[in-house]
Chains A and B, each alone.
Chain A
Amino acid sequence: MTNVLLIIFIISLFYVSIANRLITYVRVLALQGFILFGVTFMQLNDIETWNLVLIMLETIVFKAIAVPLFLGYLIKRNKITRVAEPYLSNFMSLIIVTAIVVITVVLANSIQDPLLNKIFFIVSLSTLFTGLYFIASRKKIITHVMGYLMIENGVFVLSLAAGNEMPNLVNLGIMLDVFASVMILGIFFNKIGDVFKDADVDQLTDMKDY
C-alpha cells in the first residue's frame, strides 16, 4: 500500500509538469499532502503515539489543507494570472521530468546497500530535482514557492525512510516545513504581491553590481 501511494506521488509529478493552470499546482500540492499523511500512517509504526499524531497532524493540517488554501487565497488576492507561464513547452517538461525519474531509478539500482529503502529514495530524489526544475523553468514567483514546497515534500518522504530509527529527524523536517513555509509564504508573499504587481521574476532585477 505504501508503494501504491508513493507511485501515485510520482505520477503527480508528471501531472504537474504538463499542467497549465496555477490552481492545478495547488491541487497537486494538496494531493501530495494527503499521500504523505497516508504514507506516514503506514510507515512509522515503531514510534511513540503522540509523536505520530503530531507528524500526521502536520501533514494533514499544514501540507494538505492550510498551505494549499493559503496559496489559492494569495493567487486571488494578488490577482495573479492563472497560467503557469513556463519557459519550456509542456512536452519538454514532461520529457525532462521523465528523465529525472529514470535517472534516479538507475542511480538507486546501482546502490549496493541492503538497508536502503529504494522506493523512498527514488521518490524523494526525483521530487527534489523536479522541484528544482520547476523553480528554474517557471516565470512567476509563486511557482517558485510551489517548487520549493514540492522539494520539502520530497525531503519529507526521505525523512520518513529513516523515521522509525530516528523520529527526531522527522520532527526536524516538520520544523523546516513550518519555519520556511510560514516565512516564505506568510509575511512575505503578501508584500511581494503589493509591491510587484505581476509577481514575475523578471521584476526582481533591480539589484546590480554597477
Chain B
Amino acid sequence: MTAIYFITAFLIAILLLANRNNALNRVLIILFGLIQTGFTFYACYNYKSSSLVYFTFDSLGILLLMTLTVITIPALLHSYLYIERHSETPASKAIYYAALVSLITSVTAAYLANHIAVIWIFTEMTTLSASMLIYHHRNKLALEGTWKYVFICAISITFVFIGILFLSLSLRSSGTNDLSFANLMAYKDHLNPFWLRLAFLFIFTGFTAKLGLVPMYTAGIDAKDIAPAPAGALLASVLMNMGFVAIFRFYAIIANTSLYNWANLIVIIAALLSIFVATVYMTKVLNIKRMFAYSGIEHMGIVMLGVAAGGVGYYAAVLHIILHALVKSSLFFQFNQLYRTFQSKSIEHAGNYFKYNPAGAIVILFGFISATAMPPSGMFVSEFLIFRSLFEGGHIIILLVVLLLLTIVIWAFGKNTLKILFLPVAGIDESIIPKISPWESLSQYVLLLTAVWLGLNPPLAFVELLKDAVKILPN
C-alpha cells in the first residue's frame, strides 16, 4: 500500500507536469487529495507496523501525518482558487501543482521514515519541490528568494550528511552499521560519545533550516514570504514539522545516552536565541507574511524549550507543534484574501479589514489570539504546559527571559494585527476593493476550531498517541 501510494503520487505529479488540460488537472488534484486521505487512514489502521523496510507508522508519524492531511485539503483548494484567479500560463500552473504534490508526498515520507538517511533523502526532495513553489512568480524577487533558500538548504543538507557520517563513525566500534533509529536505540550504550556529539551538532544545525531555529532560520522566512500564500501555508506548518520530526527522532536517542544534559544545553541555546531573534524582528517587521513567519520561529523556539525541559514538556511540545501547524496555516490561507483587498503585503497599506471582509477579519483576529496562545486557543494549554515543565525542570531564569520576550512579541503582533483589523488607512480607493466571499474563510475556521478542540478537549485516542510518541524519552 505504501508503495502504491508513492507510485500513484509520483505518477500524479508527472501527469500534472505534462498535462495542459484544465478538467484533467482538477481530476488529478482531487485524486491526489483522496489518495492522501486514504493513505492516512491506512496508516492509522496499520498503527505500529512497518512497510517497505524504511517506513514505520509510529505515533509521532501518524499524528503529524494526520495534521498534514488536514492541512493538505484546504491547501489544494486555496491553490486552485489562487491559480484560477491569476492568469497563469499552463506551464507555470503545471509546475506549481506538480511541485505541490511532490512536496506533500516527500513530507509524508519523511514523517514516516525510520532511518536517518531516508529522512535525509526526502528532506532533499522537499528542498527541490519547495524551491519550485517559491520561484512560482518568476520575477527578480522570486529569484532572490529561491536562490537564498536553495543555497542555505543545500549547505544545511550537507551539514546533515556530515552529521550522518559522524554518526556512522560513532557506531563503528559496536560492530553494526545499520543507521535506523531502532538500531541506534538498541546500540545506544555502544555509541562513541565524541563522534555522537559532533553528529548531533551537525544534524541539529542542518535540520534547523527546515525547523526554523537559529542559525539556519533565514531561508525559511524568505521562502514563506515569496511563495504563493497557499504554498507558504505548507512551508510554514508541515515543512517545519518535518524538521521537528527529524530532530526529535535523533534527539530521542541522544537523550537516552550520557549526553542528555549536554544536548539539552545546545537545544536551549538555539531555542532561546530563536525566540530572541523572532522578538527583535517582530517589533520591526512591516511585511504581514514575514510577521507570520517570525511568529513561527518564536513558536519553534518554545517547542524546543519544551523538549529540552523534559517531563510534561515532551508531551506539550508535540501538542504545540500540531496546534501551531493548524493555526499558522489558517493565517497563511487567509493572507491571500487580505492581499486581494489591499493589494499589498505591507502593514502600512492595510487597515480596517473588518469593514471589507468581516469573515476574513474574524479569522485574522482569532488566528492572532490563537498564535499568541491566549485562551480559548488550544495553544494556551500546550504553552502553559511547556512553561510548567520549564518551572519544574528548574529553569526559572530561562522561563523569566522567555516570558519577557513573549510579552514583547504579543505587543508587536497585537499592535500590527489590530492596525490591520481596525485602523482605517488614508487614501484607500474603496471602489476597487473586491467583494470576497465568506465561504473562502470556511476552511480557516475549521482549522482554527480544530486547534481549539484538540487543545481544550482532546479525544482520548489523540492523547494516547501523544503519550506514546514521547514514551521513548527519559522522564
Contact = CB atoms under 8 A, between A and B. Distances in A.
Interface string B153-197: 011011001101100110011000100000000000000101100
A184 B154 contact: yes
A158 B164 CA distance: 11
B432 to A, nearest CB: 25
A113 B192 contact: yes
A179 B150 CA distance: 11
Contact of A204 (B148, B195, B290): B148
Interface stretch (B49-57, B117-125, B401-409): B117-125
Interface stretch (B78-86, B136-144, B246-254, B329-337): B136-144
Nearest to A173: B161
A206 B144 contact: yes
Contact of A169 (B154, B165, B287): B165
Nearest to B225: A207
Interface string A170-199: 001101100110011000100110011000
A176 B124 contact: yes
Contact of A141 (B147, B162, B290): B147
Contact of A165 (B128, B172, B285): B172
Given A209-B284, A209-B287, A195 B143 contact: yes
B350 interface: no
A207 B145 contact: yes
Given A115-B169, A209-B286, A191 B143 contact: yes
Nearest to A175: B121
Contacts of B177: 165-166
A55 interface: no
A106 to B, nearest CB: 15
A186 B192 CA distance: 40
A152 interface: yes
Contacts of B173: 115
A128 interface: yes
Given A144-B151, A155-B161, A204 B117 contact: no
A209 B145 contact: no
Contacts of A115: 169, 172-173
Contact of A113 (B127, B144, B145, B194): B194
Contact of B158 (A151, A192, A210): A151
Nearest to A176: B161
A162 interface: yes
A98 B168 CA distance: 29
A111 interface: yes
A57 to B, nearest CB: 20
A109 to B, nearest CB: 13
B165 A158 contact: yes
Nearest to B294: A209
Contact of A183 (B131, B192, B194, B287): B131
B40 interface: no
A61 interface: no
A184 B164 contact: no
B222 interface: yes
A192 B147 contact: yes
B165 A162 contact: yes
Interface string B218-237: 00001001100000000000
B117 A168 contact: yes
Contacts of A208: 287
A208 to B, nearest CB: 7
Contacts of B290: 209
B445 interface: no
B124 A179 contact: yes
B281 interface: yes
Interface in A131-165: 135, 141, 144, 148, 151-152, 155, 158-159, 161-162, 165
Nearest to B160: A176
B411 to A, nearest CB: 17
A183 B150 contact: yes
Contacts of B195: 113
A207 B164 CA distance: 33
A103 interface: no
A135 B150 CA distance: 14
Given A111-B194, A151-B155, A176-B158, A210 B172 contact: no
Given A155-B161, A166-B177, A210 B155 contact: no
Contact of B150 (A172, A175, A184): A184
Contacts of B121: 172, 175
B165 A207 contact: no
Interface of A: 111, 113, 115-116, 128, 135, 141, 144, 148, 151-152, 155, 158-159, 161-162, 165-166, 168-169, 172-173, 175-176, 179-180, 183-184, 188, 191-192, 195-196, 204, 206-210
5 contacts: A115-B169, A155-B158, A161-B169, A204-B148, A206-B140
Question: Ordered nearest first, which 7 A-B pairs have the shortest CB separation?
Answer: A210-B286, A180-B154, A209-B285, A204-B144, A166-B177, A162-B168, A158-B165
Interface of B: 117, 120-121, 124, 127-128, 131, 140-141, 143-148, 150-151, 154-155, 157-158, 161-162, 164-165, 168-169, 172-173, 177, 192, 194-195, 222, 225-226, 281, 284-287, 290
Given A169-B164, A175-B121, A207-B222, 11 more contacts: A113-B192, A141-B147, A165-B168, A165-B177, A168-B117, A176-B161, A180-B124, A180-B154, A183-B150, A188-B150, A192-B147
